Amino acid sequence: MTDSSPAKTVLVCRNKTCSAQGSAKVLAAFEAGAPEGVAVKRSGCIGQCGSGPMVLVEPEKTWYSQVQPGDVSEIVSRHLVGDRPVMRKLYPLFHPKETSIKGWLIVSGILLGLLLLMFGMLFGQTVYF
């Protein structure tokens, strides 16, 4: 017995708002470029109007926003084939960017350094008065 269900399904919203934002060409690009075993379907509104064209990849529920036809080949090669989401196109409402602790440490260090410099300058001025 073989399982004929696709490994992944790409839903491209073709409702009113996403259509006005160009989802027909996005859908056509996915239909032309989807690898074997990936189903591409047009969908009705998926509830995120205004951020489209919206694309939802299932079963992992990866949301892409403002997808343009030129983005499709990257989503196909990186995500549908390589199983790595295309970070720059992820829908930020459902996939917020992770803040790195390293970044926070660098910013905190710079702010602390500036604060110490200011105190040093103030202290230095008061010594000479």
Helix (H, G, I), strand (E, B), or coil: what is residue 40? strand
- Looking at the Cβ atoms of 24 and 49, the one nearer to ligand FES is 49
Residues 78-117 that bind ligand FES (CB under 6 A): none
Q: Does 66 bind ligand FES (CB under 6 A)?
A: no
Which range touches ligand FES (CB under 6 A), out of 48-56, 72-80, 87-95, 100-108? 48-56
- Alpha-carbon span 46 to 112, nearest angstrom: 46
- Looking at the Cβ atoms of 54 and 86, the one nearer to ligand FES is 54
- Alpha-carbon span 20 to 101, nearest angstrom: 40
Among 13, 26, 76, 80, indicate the residue that binds ligand FES (CB under 6 A).
13
Cα-to-chain-centroid distance, residue 124 = 49
Q: Does 15 bind ligand FES (CB under 6 A)?
A: yes
Residues 16-45 that bind ligand FES (CB under 6 A): 16-18, 45
Q: Does 73 bind ligand FES (CB under 6 A)?
A: no
CA distances from 69 to 23, 103, 115 (A): 8, 33, 48
CA distances from 82 to 1, 35, 56 (A): 27, 11, 17
Footprint of ligand FES (CB under 6 A): 13, 15-18, 45-49, 52, 54
